[in-house]
């Protein structure tokens, strides 16, 4: 009887995780929540349940992708659309297995290191997929037509407004297509890493509420010192390209993605230092919250946001030479 009840609970929990993950995958803004139910299932029930639920989710998503493209007559286009529908869930699920520490060669390493390795592996998988999709001319034509239609709303000939001219100047000769291609080329890895970090953190916080998991506090976060030189080199290389001193070619996407990831990590360390100083000097909670709210507000203000974007990472990097915190607990 007890065995049946246990099996029934496992099936229920796995079913809930599958349903939630499938639902979250269908909403772009909720993509960072896609793996959260699977994390929770792993922490509560173990690896075998996670494996079964993950496989079920992928099968469901594949069936849904095939169903959504059933009216597409061109076989190559349909195949490309299915691949585009599946690639993000597959890569996020790949990252999940790196984060939960089930990859033997990475066992025992800090979660942060495993996330960085997962990002590198995901980008290596993404490159051939991108090259394959790039060869599908029908897909390229469809996407180009949609982007041009969207761009035409803002940059239509004859509109003549100041805002339109500024946008044309900003987008350059290649227009919105060129801008989007350049943006994703230089930031896809950083976006993937950010989603991995957010989803794993949300899962940890959810488990913490149920008293099931001890997590690293932000105030104790510290970037491994070994990442300092990659940070410095990527920053210099990015500035070299920004000022047109040298063309980086194939290295440009690697440098920009690595630089953005490290900028975020050292910014996080800078924020951890601020929180640590608040605690040390007994700053009231209300003032702490107000300070962090002001930082967030500045972050969304063009131009002035550079104070936060550059200031927090510089503060984080400075701890390499100046011990601004009394004690650090590593992951």
Q: Using the predicted structure, report yes or no on whether residue 208 has a pLDDT greater than 50.
A: yes
pLDDT per residue over 289-324, tens digit each? 888 888 888 887 877 888 888 889 998 998 888 877
**Burial of 115 per CB tally in 10 Å (0-12, 13-18, 19+):** buried
When pLDDT is averaged across residues 88-109 and rounded to a whole number, the result is 89
For the chain, the average pLDDT equals 82
**Burial of 210 per CB tally in 10 Å (0-12, 13-18, 19+):** exposed
Q: Which residue has the higher pLDDT, 211 or 103?
A: 103
When pLDDT is averaged across residues 101-130 and rounded to a whole number, the result is 89
pLDDT per residue over 248-292, tens digit each? 888 889 999 999 999 999 999 999 888 888 888 888 888 888 888
Could you tell me which of 275, 277, 266, 280 has the C-alpha nearest to residue 316? 266
The per-residue pLDDT for 259 is 93
Q: Using the predicted structure, report yes or no on whether residue 328 has a pLDDT greater than 50.
A: no
The conformation of residue 245, written as its DSSP 8-state character, comes to S
The per-residue pLDDT for 149 is 61
Confidence of residue 72 (pLDDT cuts 50, 70, 90): confident
Q: Which residue has the higher pLDDT, 216 or 237?
A: 237
26/36 Cα distance (integer angstroms): 14
Q: Using the predicted structure, report yes or no on whether residue 236 has a pLDDT greater than 60.
A: yes
When pLDDT is averaged across residues 199-224 and rounded to a whole number, the result is 79
Q: Using the predicted structure, report yes or no on whether residue 5 has a pLDDT greater than 70.
A: no
Confidence of residue 163 (pLDDT cuts 50, 70, 90): very low
Share of the chain above pLDDT 70, in %: 83
Q: Using the predicted structure, report yes or no on whether residue 22 has a pLDDT greater than 90.
A: yes
Greatest mean pLDDT among 100-109, 115-124, 302-311 lies in: 115-124
Q: How many CB atoms lie within 10 A of CB 75?
A: 8
Given CA atoms 237, 185, 302, 27 in this order, what sign does their dihedral have? Answer: negative
């Amino acid at each position: 009887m007890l065995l049946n009840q246990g099996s029934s609970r496992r099936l229920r929990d796995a079913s809930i995780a599958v349903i939630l993950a499938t639902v979250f995958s269908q909403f772009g803004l909720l993509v960072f929540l896609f793996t959260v139910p699977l994390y929770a299932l792993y922490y509560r029930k173990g690896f075998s349940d996670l494996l079964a639920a993950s496989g079920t989710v992928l099968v469901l998503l594949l069936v849904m992708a095939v169903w959504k493209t059933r009216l597409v007559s061109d076989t190559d286009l349909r195949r490309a659309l299915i691949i585009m529908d599946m690639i993000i869930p597959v890569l996020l699920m790949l990252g999940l297995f790196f984060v939960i520490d089930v990859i033997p060669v990475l066992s025992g390493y800090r979660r942060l290191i495993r996330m960085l390795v997962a990002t590198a592996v995901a980008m290596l998988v993404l490159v051939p997929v991108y090259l394959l999709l790039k060869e599908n001319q029908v897909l390229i034509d469809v996407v180009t037509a949609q982007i041009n239609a969207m761009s035409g709303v803002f940059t239509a000939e004859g509109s003549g407004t100041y805002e339109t001219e500024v946008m044309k100047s900003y987008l350059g000769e290649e227009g919105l297509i060129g801008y989007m291609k350049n943006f994703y080329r230089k930031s896809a890895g950083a976006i993937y890493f950010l989603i991995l970090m957010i989803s794993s953190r949300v899962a940890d916080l959810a488990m913490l509420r149920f008293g099931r998991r001890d997590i690293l506090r932000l105030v104790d976060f510290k970037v491994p010192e070994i990442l300092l030189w990659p940070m410095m080199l990527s920053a210099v290389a990015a500035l070299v390209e920004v000022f047109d001193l040298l063309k980086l070619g194939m290295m440009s996407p690697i440098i920009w993605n690595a630089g953005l990831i490290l900028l975020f990590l050292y910014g996080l360390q800078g924020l951890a230092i601020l929180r640590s100083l608040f605690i040390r000097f007994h700053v009231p909670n209300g003032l702490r919250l107000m300070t962090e709210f002001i930082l967030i507000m500045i972050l969304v203000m063009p131009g002035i946001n550079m104070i936060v974007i550059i200031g927090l990472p510089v503060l984080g990097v400075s701890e390499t030479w100046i011990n601004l915190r009394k004690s650090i607990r590593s992951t």
